[in-house]
Amino acid sequence: MGLAPRRLKTSCGGGAISLQPSVSELTLALEVASPNLGVADARLVDAGFGSIVLDTGDGLILRIARTAAAARGHAIEAATLPELARRLPAEVPVPMSARTGA
């Protein structure tokens, strides 16, 4: 199930604006893609230019890329965090891919 933004024509100038998926649409898509995540009751933490952040309430924070560039940034971060965890005395988040559940 794709999460591509829907397009809606505006009444002024005929341009298009992007309508982002709702939290319920996101959680439904995530449940279909990865049923073991347990995101049915997730709540919106924040939405920025690059990502939407959801909190499942049980310690799992989800960042969903809004753009291809943000997805590339998330991939770089996920590859970098394990190395940082080995080098830093502080706790570092453990990245997990929603595609694989691991």
What pLDDT digit, counting tens, does each position of 74-98 carry? Answer: 999 999 999 999 999 999 988 876 5
> Which CATH number covers residue 11?
3.30.200
| pLDDT at res. 91 | 92
Cβ atoms 53, 60 nearer than 8 A: no
Query: What CA–CA distance (Å, rounded) separates 1 from 28?
Result: 10
Domain encompassing residue 13: 6-87
Residue reference for tokens 């933490």: 45
What pLDDT digit, counting tens, does each position of 34-53 carry? Answer: 888 888 888 899 888 889 99
Of residues 3, 100, 102, 101, the one with CA closest to residue 51: 3
What count of other Cβ atoms lies within 10 Å of the Cβ of residue 38? 15
Of residues 3, 45, 39, the one with CA closest to residue 21: 3
Total number of domains in the chain = 1
| pLDDT at res. 60 | 85
* Residue 61 domain flag: yes
Round the average pLDDT of the chain to a whole number and report it. 78
